[in-house]
Amino acid sequence: MKDRYQVVVIGGGIVGASVLYHLTLRGLTDVALVERAELTAGSSWHAAGGFHAINADTHIAALQKYTIGMYPTVEQESGQSVGLHMTGGLELAGTPERWEWLKTELAWLRTMDTEAYLVSPDEAAAMCPIIDPAGLQGALFDPHEGNLDPHGATHAYAGAARRRGAEVVLHNRVLSVERLAGGDWRLETELGPVTTEHVVNAAGLWARKVGRMVGVDHPLVPMQHHYLVTEDVPEVAAIDGVMPSVTDLEGFTYLQREKNGVLLGVYEQNPRHWQVDGPGWDYGMELIPKEIERISPELSIGFDRFPALQKAGIKRWVNGAITFTPDGNPLVGPVSGVPNYWAACGVMAGFSQCAAIGLALANWIVDGDPGADVFGMDVARFGAFAAEDGYLRALTSQFYARRFVMAYPNEELPAGRPLKTSPAFDDLADAGARFGAVWGLEVPLFFAPGDPAFEEEPSLRRSNAHDLVGEEVAAVRTAAGAYETAAYARYEVSGAGAEAWLDRILACRIPPPGRVRLAPVLRETGTLMGDLTVTRLSDDRFWLVGSYYLQEWHLRWFRDLLPPRGVELRNLSDAWVGFSVSGPSSRLIVQRAIDADLSAEAMPFLTARLMAFDGADAMVARLSLTGELGYEVTVPAAYHRSLLRALRSSGDGDGLRLVGDRAIDSLRLEKAYGIWSAEFTQAYTPGMSGLERFVAFDKGAFIGREAAQRERDRGPAQRLVLLEVAADGADASGDEPVWRDGTRVGFVTSGAFGHHVGRSLALAYVDSAVAEDSPALSVHIVGDERPARILPEPPYDPSGSRMRDI
Ligand SMILES: Cc1cc2nc3c(=O)[nH]c(=O)nc-3n(C[C@H](O)[C@H](O)[C@H](O)COP(=O)(O)OP(=O)(O)OC[C@H]3O[C@@H](n4cnc5c(N)ncnc54)[C@H](O)[C@@H]3O)c2cc1C
């Protein structure tokens, strides 16, 4: 071991080894992996080694495909077998609802260009003869599944990295990690001190402990996980050829061939955490005592589904620990305020994701950019709240137990709630709000006034809340709706250097005092980093408004770019909250509530002012997300409830209704407005998304300008369009493929029923030629292919006069 490296990776599991290899692929050779014991000595050695490309996040699914494709390469480079078996995999549907869900999943998979297909129960049993097809509805077969030898795969990555110049240091625990005054890291290790420019936390089960060495509490926790391996099973031995792996979704088990027997793993409904702060440093390659009674309900379903196992002897029981995060995806990337410390931990499915993590992290370290939309595994998608013990345990238990349970687009899960509530929460609840959770914050989805017993049914189709949402939409179009804006993030930027700094990080022209502007934020690659609004309160004071759940992510970006002096950045997200009131009566209602002149002359479209409300400041901005005349009123949190009460007493007689997220989705689709996470993400560009019209190409330099200009010159390959879908009781929800004459030409980003215009609408990215031609298209919705057409303009008020000209 040398005493200095450019990068030190802590941890020699499959993830650390892959990160090391990918660093060498990017040309870094002054790199070392430091491992406490042997390679694989954490979770990796006793993994079942199964892998698959399917992930609910399409970008992560693409990266998982990359992981699977890398195994033959590292095997060849290292000369170490990874024991790859590309068997394909079956997902079994045991109920009609699950069968419908699988058909929907197949459509999503088409968006990712996978070759998966549906098979009948008999076909599934023919592919894997130990399945009892009784009661099955069918199955989904995905050829991009299989299993490998976890030990071989880890050694292959480490070996290939070594051949490219990296060093692997075994039996050397990292004892502490400390930041030196010059910016380097100093690691105390059992073999002596090492300094390094970058340090990567790939410490798996111990990652929380290693994170705490640098003052970071990662939201990850080990959980127990069981599988068993049988002795030879004659019915398996008799299978001539490949036996696909099988996931019995209703049975909570997965199965794969192990020589002439099988490995049967369980995602039990009653999971257990294990060593929540990480195991002791001396924990070896040991197993946790098995808890057969706890997993027996799921095992007995497994033995019914695979009856040949009932007579099989059990050769080996494995109860090991896997780290879980609140959403089951890994924690990857830089951590705000801890320069050159990189997370590569919280990895539940290391053998599906190791190369994806290695690739993203190596790109990030070398280029300052992961090279793809990796928000789904970005460490900055969580805030500090997620590492709080009770919350973390609740969310990870829920995730584990629901690993194979159907997830519906309209479903809100109960774990860890309520965590954060706005000051008006009780009033909103009393008014019938049904809440969802955004970044731990309770936000109204819709209101069921006067019906405390109402519960929305999880569904792929229009739910029983459809008509309630319709009433909220009608109120906004004909009178007014008040939408709580607690789920907006707000940042104040001030100081002598504020304007110049914003001019560089925002792609729009900086507005004059008193004006509001839509402000795309770009990366150097020309892809989107935000869809903010910027409000200028005075020469040197601005507000940026964005999405609440992106706070950590945006703040990391801003802080990295802040100059050493002259600009102050404050996060006001929980300190200021408000309501967005829109609709033809909104002026009257807001004017009365806050006792101010909001006439068109006093307050034209896209202006903002601080006004007095009950002795406090209220920030009033004239804009709306609904396409109607509207005002966003934001007050210090202590006044939030008073503001709601003032709005309601002013508006009750004029048809004001409280409205939630679902109504906003319907209203914004009628206007073809996109939102972050759907139409706008870091995978898309201003040209694709239509945000180009807010980019001031003719102003001075700003981040991303050259790349965005290049794209503008050649034209984007895909464009965002609004589709009208001939839907039948179900609307698009996102990720559905868009077809033209049997060829996939795009995918849906979000969909909703436009209650006012009476049409099913979807925003979609389609090939630019298709966007220009406007041909007959179709969209898969809940497994059915439905006709669709591109709307040349929004179906509601295409000129925008209702919002602007009143
Ligand atoms: C029973 C079981 C079945 C599984 N089945 C599958 C499956 O089929 N498919 C799949 O994809 N995944 C499976 N997994 C999960 C998979 O094992 C993990 O996702 C993966 O191994 C995580 O790898 P890692 O490199 O992040 O962590 P680990 O394998 O835990 O490696 C971390 C390494 O860091 C080292 N380390 C920690 N602290 C220090 C320090 N201070 N100094 C030096 N070294 C340190 C440790 O010794 C360890 O070797 C399974 C896991 C278990 C337990």
Which ligand 1 atom sits closest to the C-alpha of 226?
1
- 209, 262 Cβ separation under 8 angstroms: no
Confidence grade of residue 53 (pLDDT, cut at 50, 70, 90)? confident
**DSSP for 556-625, written as a single string:** HHHHHH--SSS-EEEE-TTTEEEEEEESTTHHHHHHHHHT----TTTS-TTBEEEEEETTEEEEEE---S
The confidence score (pLDDT) of residue 649 equals 97
Asked whether 153 lines ligand 1 (CB < 6 A), one says: no
Asked whether 42 lines ligand 1 (CB < 6 A), one says: yes
The confidence score (pLDDT) of residue 406 equals 85
Asked whether 41 lines ligand 1 (CB < 6 A), one says: yes
| Residue 192 neighbours by CB under 8 Å, 6+ apart | 1, 3
Interval between CA 7 and ligand 1 midpoint (Å): 20
Judging by DSSP bridges, how do beta strands 253-258 and 245-248 pair with one another? antiparallel
State how far the Cα of 26 lies from the Cα of 20, in Å rounded to an integer.
10
| Residue 416 neighbours by CB under 8 Å, 6+ apart | 326, 390, 391, 394, 395, 398, 437, 440
Interval between CA 71 and ligand 1 midpoint (Å): 17
pLDDT digits (tens, 9 = 90+) for 590-636: 999 999 999 999 999 999 999 999 989 999 999 999 999 999 999 99
> 371: number of CA atoms within 13 Å, CB side?
15
| Crossing angle between the packed helical segments 466-478 and 661-670, to the nearest 10 degrees | 60
Interval between CA 45 and ligand 1 midpoint (Å): 7
Q: Which amino acid would we find at residue 768?
A: S
The model's pTM is 0.97
> 35: number of CA atoms within 13 Å, CB side?
23
Interval between CA 400 and ligand 1 midpoint (Å): 17
| Residue 197 neighbours by CB under 8 Å, 6+ apart | 5, 6, 7, 183, 184, 185, 340
Which ligand 1 atom sits closest to the C-alpha of 352?
11
Interval between CA 285 and ligand 1 midpoint (Å): 11
Number of other residues whose CB lies within 10 A of the CB of residue 119? 16
The confidence score (pLDDT) of residue 112 equals 84
Asked whether 149 lines ligand 1 (CB < 6 A), one says: no
In the predicted model, what is the mean pLDDT of residues 267-285? 95
Choosing from 43, 167, 354 the residue with most ligand 1 atoms within 8 A of its CB, the one to mutate for a pocket test is: 43
Asked whether 32 lines ligand 1 (CB < 6 A), one says: no
Q: Is the pLDDT confidence value at 385 over 90?
A: yes
**Which residue, chain included where needed, has tokens 């990918």?**
22
Confidence grade of residue 189 (pLDDT, cut at 50, 70, 90)? very high
Asked whether 211 lines ligand 1 (CB < 6 A), one says: no
State how far the Cα of 327 lies from the Cα of 142, in Å rounded to an integer.
23
Number of other residues whose CB lies within 10 A of the CB of residue 198? 22
| Residue 15 neighbours by CB under 8 Å, 6+ apart | 202, 204, 330, 344, 345, 347, 350, 353, 354, 357, 358
Asked whether 754 lines ligand 1 (CB < 6 A), one says: no
Interval between CA 278 and ligand 1 midpoint (Å): 12
Asked whether 89 lines ligand 1 (CB < 6 A), one says: no
Interval between CA 693 and ligand 1 midpoint (Å): 47
Q: Which residue has the least CA distance to atom 27 on ligand 1?
A: 204
Q: Which residue has the least CA distance to atom 31 on ligand 1?
A: 13
- 351, 47 Cβ separation under 8 angstroms: yes
| End-to-end CA separation in angstroms for the chain | 72
Interval between CA 204 and ligand 1 midpoint (Å): 5
The confidence score (pLDDT) of residue 223 equals 98
Interval between CA 441 and ligand 1 midpoint (Å): 32
pLDDT digits (tens, 9 = 90+) for 452-477: 999 999 999 999 999 999 999 999 99
Q: Which residue has the least CA distance to atom 12 on ligand 1?
A: 349
Asked whether 10 lines ligand 1 (CB < 6 A), one says: yes
Asked whether 208 lines ligand 1 (CB < 6 A), one says: no
The confidence score (pLDDT) of residue 227 equals 97
Q: Which residue, 515, 645, 537, 657, is CA-closest to 592? A: 645
In the predicted model, what is the mean pLDDT of residues 482-502? 98
Interval between CA 50 and ligand 1 midpoint (Å): 14
Q: Which residue, 314, 322, 319, 315, is CA-closest to 286? A: 319
**DSSP for 493-515, written as a single string:** EESTTHHHHHHHH-SSPPPPTTB
**DSSP for 40-61, written as a single string:** TTTTGGG---EEE---SSHHHH
In the predicted model, what is the mean pLDDT of residues 312-321? 97
The encoded tokens of residue 135 equal 């009661």
State how far the Cα of 672 lies from the Cα of 581, in Å rounded to an integer.
19
Q: Is the pLDDT confidence value at 804 over 80?
A: yes
State how far the Cα of 469 lies from the Cα of 472, in Å rounded to an integer.
5
Confidence grade of residue 111 (pLDDT, cut at 50, 70, 90)? confident
What does the CA dihedral 343, 348, 353, 356 come to, rounded to 10 degrees? -20
Which ligand 1 atom sits closest to the C-alpha of 318?
1
Q: Which residue, 86, 88, 84, is CA-closest to 124? A: 88
Asked whether 219 lines ligand 1 (CB < 6 A), one says: no
Judging by DSSP bridges, how do beta strands 541-547 and 488-494 pair with one another? antiparallel
- 76, 112 Cβ separation under 8 angstroms: no
- 374, 332 Cβ separation under 8 angstroms: yes
Q: Which residue, 414, 424, 421, is CA-closest to 391? A: 414
Q: Is the pLDDT confidence value at 62 over 90?
A: no
Which ligand 1 atom sits closest to the C-alpha of 175?
41
State how far the Cα of 456 lies from the Cα of 468, in Å rounded to an integer.
11
